[in-house]
Chain A
Amino acid sequence: MISFRASLVFATILIAISMLNGCQNAREKSGPDDIVWIKNSHAQLFRIGLTKTDSFLEVYDAPNSMLSIGKFCWGSSSKIEGYQKIENRSKIVSLSAIHTGMLAELGLGKSIVGVESKQYIAHPAIYTSSLLDSVQELAPDGPIIPEKLANLKPQILIGYVFNIQEKSTIERIAKNHFLVIWSNNHLEPHPLGRAEWIVAMGWLLGKSKESTELFQGISKEYLAIAKQAANPDQGKKSDMGSNKSNKNNRPTVMMNIPYNGQWFVPQGQSYMSQFILDAGGIPITLQPEGSGSNMVGLEKALQAMQLADIWINTDNCNTRKCLTEMDPRVLNIKALQGNRVFNFNKKLNPNGSNSYWDLGCIFPNLVLRDLHKIIQNDTQSLYFYQRCK
């Protein structure tokens, strides 16, 4: 005879399976029956839907996840079950530089009333304008200041979930006062997926046409560069010469720097690996699957990277001296010996903000163009990157 405890465990498993199944269906079948979902080109963490009367935005917590972290609607219907209705959108708090950049790019910079910290804002439309003075800083030196956010009385807050306590604090303040849109667009594994979020922002804030056109232009250029990189003989003749170091004649590219003996090596399906593949290089990874990174000790990292042709994204190290001071054992890396080390610090502002982090996400075509040039050994007129001296 089955014991009561065993029956309980069995029932719990059954409920969990049916709930998971329910969630799976939820991404496909949520919303009104006549809803038409627009197919994204690369983004996996949101979807936009339309009916004759309303528009819908659903946001998900991770790629391929069934867990929705926000369902919003706007239009003529007074209420739609399961969706939060967006009515006012003229006062926005943006807690990430990427979203601030996207708002600025859509000409909505004036709607921004609060940001996380001004030192992260690099978008020229805000950084170089008087807008920067009028915007409130809500978390200048650490966690968000709840009173400041409450006093600001925004209508919408956009941010990414970086701290579960802070998330709940914000949601507590927001309750019945303003809408919170959590956007984990930094988890999009494809650069165009991350950039496509400008379409979501555009739809949400009444700039659907402009945002779609903008993204289409970005996507078109990105894909054109990727196509050229994939078939270099069809385009302009490349000057890779002796730098062709593997059987596929594509240079190998390593990323990041060690921190106290530990190196974060991006995985094969990560954002940066995708950039390098599309730019015509071979990313050095330790794991072909996965969109995160592997934390490895120096020995494992250097074994994989010692013969790298190119080294990019050296973080706060802009000189070769800085790299060797950080750990002298990197001196043996081929890219360092061949002086092919590049960092994304060309558009660094005096306040320390770096356009790479916002414009680079919105315009991955510019990053890809830089990387393609670096791989082709044509390092003139790079936009974000420059050679480490």
Chain B
Amino acid sequence: MSRQQGFSFWVCLGLIGLILLDLWPSQGNAIAFWQSEIFLELRLPRVLSALIGGIALGWSGLMMQTLFRNPLAGPFLIGITPGATFGVALTTYLGSSLGLNETLSHIAIQPLAALGGAFLVLSIQLAIHKKLSQMHSLLLVGLVLGYFFGAAVDIITQTAQAQQVKQFVMWGMGSFDRVLLKELIPLLGATIMGGLILTYHRHAFNTYLLGDIHVESAGKSAKSLRNWLIVGSATMAAIVTAFCGPISFVGLIAPHISRKIQGTEAHQKNIFTTAMAGGLLTLAADIIANNTLENSTLPVNAILSIIGAPLVIWMLARKSG
């Protein structure tokens, strides 16, 4: 077994361990708990959404880093999550004002609005990236877009009713608790779609990392590859954001963990381990969120930010060094 295979094996084992740990009852008989409605309707969807959400965000990050040929790209830092958040804020506010059905709004309209916001940000980033291709400009534009959409969300919440603000604030904390079993279908659908795009174009994406000239000389269209990367990364990030709230840093960190394990940027090697690393991060955050305090649940987003922020600073320091 090679070093890479060894690491992959341990990540897999860790992921299975975390799944079991997250599914384990906090008290009482495990068999009885696994047969209860609480398990089937609440625990199972929560653990599955954390797992699928982590995989989707990991892949979304991998695709964005490929798209911008920049290891610091991730849904949160480049502004996709704030864009999706803006879409959700808009529908939360307009939903009840227009008398939209809550279930319809939750299952269809919010994800579509999040998707719209995500595509908008990604288009702006791409347009600017053509002119400013330095690594840090991507983050700066992401920061500026984050501020812009943050301000737009502030204006929306200022005019919203107290209930809508409450809904939106709770959504913003990020949680896998709110996901219903049936909502796993679109979540899983978007993740499978992203996974298929990554797997199908894995060799072409490797060439894309070398530059557009290499893609064209290999007889492929760089524009078409870019479109696939945009569709895949934005869809996965937006759907996870719509259903679970803004989940930060997973998309940025998971591909890095994977590359560290695999020792290569080759997509065929990183698809599986990025998914494992993403799932590992979100499941760990979910376990911490639900088990740190006996009578409270911590916000998943806060936990991931506490883990993620120092890691990003470390990565930036390493890159500049």
Which residue from A259, A297, A316, A329 sits with its C-beta under 8 Å from B180?
A329
Contacts of B169 in A (CB 8 A): 259
- Asked whether any CB of chain A lies closer than 8 Å to the CB of B297, the reply is yes
Which residue from A287, A297, A302 sits with its C-beta under 8 Å from B290?
A297
- Asked whether any CB of chain A lies closer than 8 Å to the CB of B196, the reply is no
Query: Which applies to chain B's interface (DSSP): helix, strand, loop or mixed?
Result: helix
* Assembly CA distance A258 to B42 (angstroms): 13
CB pair B159–A141 under 8 Å, yes or no, is yes
CB distance from B122 to the nearest CB of A (A): 25
CB distance from B27 to the nearest CB of A (A): 10
Which residue from B42, B166, B245, B290 sits with its C-beta under 8 Å from A329?
B42
Please name 20 pairs of A and B residues whose Cβ atoms are closer than 8 Å in the assembled complex, sorted by A.
A141-B158, A259-B169, A259-B171, A260-B167, A260-B245, A261-B170, A261-B175, A262-B173, A287-B295, A295-B296, A296-B297, A297-B46, A297-B290, A299-B38, A300-B290, A300-B297, A325-B102, A325-B103, A329-B41, A329-B180
CB pair B102–A260 under 8 Å, yes or no, is no
User: Known contacts being A141-B158, A261-B170, A326-B102, is A299 close to B42, with CB within 8 Å?
Assistant: yes
Query: Nearest B residue to A141 by beta-carbon distance?
Result: B159
* Assembly CA distance A141 to B294 (angstroms): 38
Query: Nearest A residue to B175 by beta-carbon distance?
Result: A261
CB pair B159–A260 under 8 Å, yes or no, is no
* Assembly CA distance A386 to B159 (angstroms): 29
Q: A247-264 toward B: CB 8 Å interface, digit per residue (1/0)?
A: 000000000001111100
Contacts of B294 in A (CB 8 A): 286
- Asked whether any CB of chain A lies closer than 8 Å to the CB of B178, the reply is yes
Closest 6 CB pairs of A and B: A261-B178, A261-B177, A297-B177, A297-B297, A325-B102, A259-B170
* Assembly CA distance A258 to B178 (angstroms): 9
User: Known contacts being A299-B46, A326-B102, A329-B42, is A142 close to B177, with CB within 8 Å?
Assistant: no
Query: Nearest A residue to B92 by beta-carbon distance?
Result: A260
Q: A327-352 toward B: CB 8 Å interface, digit per residue (1/0)?
A: 11100100000000000000000000
CB pair B166–A259 under 8 Å, yes or no, is yes
- Asked whether any CB of chain B lies closer than 8 Å to the CB of A298, the reply is yes
Query: Nearest A residue to B45 by beta-carbon distance?
Result: A329
Contacts of A295 in B (CB 8 A): 296-297
- Asked whether any CB of chain B lies closer than 8 Å to the CB of A20, the reply is no
CB pair B295–A299 under 8 Å, yes or no, is no
Q: B167-185 toward A: CB 8 Å interface, digit per residue (1/0)?
A: 1011101011111100000
CB pair B38–A303 under 8 Å, yes or no, is yes
* Assembly CA distance A141 to B161 (angstroms): 10
Contacts of B295 in A (CB 8 A): 286-287, 294, 296, 300
Contacts of B170 in A (CB 8 A): 259-262
Which residue from B103, B177, B296 sits with its C-beta under 8 Å from A299?
B177
Contacts of A327 in B (CB 8 A): 178, 180
- Asked whether any CB of chain A lies closer than 8 Å to the CB of B43, the reply is yes
* Assembly CA distance A260 to B173 (angstroms): 10
Using a CB-CB cutoff of 8 Å, which residues 277-300 of chain B contact chain A?
Answer: 289-290, 294-297
User: Known contacts being A259-B167, A262-B173, is A299 close to B178, with CB within 8 Å?
Assistant: no
Contacts of A298 in B (CB 8 A): 42, 177-178
Contacts of A316 in B (CB 8 A): 163
Contacts of A213 in B (CB 8 A): none
* Assembly CA distance A332 to B40 (angstroms): 12
* Assembly CA distance A329 to B106 (angstroms): 15
* Assembly CA distance A322 to B101 (angstroms): 10
Contacts of A166 in B (CB 8 A): none
Contacts of B167 in A (CB 8 A): 259-260
* Assembly CA distance A297 to B295 (angstroms): 10
Using a CB-CB cutoff of 8 Å, which residues 135-170 of chain B contact chain A?
Answer: 158-159, 163, 166-167, 169-170
Using a CB-CB cutoff of 8 Å, which residues 1-52 of chain B contact chain A?
Answer: 37-38, 41-43, 46
Contacts of A300 in B (CB 8 A): 290, 295, 297
* Assembly CA distance A306 to B46 (angstroms): 18
CB distance from B206 to the nearest CB of A (A): 39
Contacts of A261 in B (CB 8 A): 170, 175-179
> By CB atoms of chain B within 10 A, which of A260, A306, A315, A322 has the most?
A260
* Assembly CA distance A260 to B244 (angstroms): 9
Which residue from B41, B158, B178 sits with its C-beta under 8 Å from A260?
B178
Query: Nearest B residue to A325 by beta-carbon distance?
Result: B102
Contacts of B41 in A (CB 8 A): 329, 332
Contacts of B177 in A (CB 8 A): 261-262, 297-299
Contacts of A328 in B (CB 8 A): 180
Contacts of B103 in A (CB 8 A): 325
Kindly list 11 other residue pairs between chains A and B, CB separation below 8 angstroms, not including A299-B43, A299-B290. Answer: A142-B158, A260-B175, A262-B177, A262-B178, A286-B295, A297-B297, A299-B177, A306-B38, A325-B102, A329-B180, A332-B37
Using a CB-CB cutoff of 8 Å, which residues 305-322 of chain A contact chain B?
Answer: 306, 315-316, 322
CB pair B296–A294 under 8 Å, yes or no, is yes
Contacts of B102 in A (CB 8 A): 322, 325-326
Contacts of A332 in B (CB 8 A): 37, 41
CB distance from A303 to the nearest CB of B (A): 6
CB distance from A211 to the nearest CB of B (A): 30
Contacts of A306 in B (CB 8 A): 38
CB distance from A322 to the nearest CB of B (A): 7
* Assembly CA distance A9 to B294 (angstroms): 34
Q: A278-298 toward B: CB 8 Å interface, digit per residue (1/0)?
A: 000000001100000011111
Query: Nearest A residue to B36 by beta-carbon distance?
Result: A303
* Assembly CA distance A262 to B245 (angstroms): 12
CB pair A302–B175 under 8 Å, yes or no, is no
Query: Nearest A residue to B39 by beta-carbon distance?
Result: A299
Query: Nearest A residue to B42 by beta-carbon distance?
Result: A299
CB distance from B17 to the nearest CB of A (A): 20
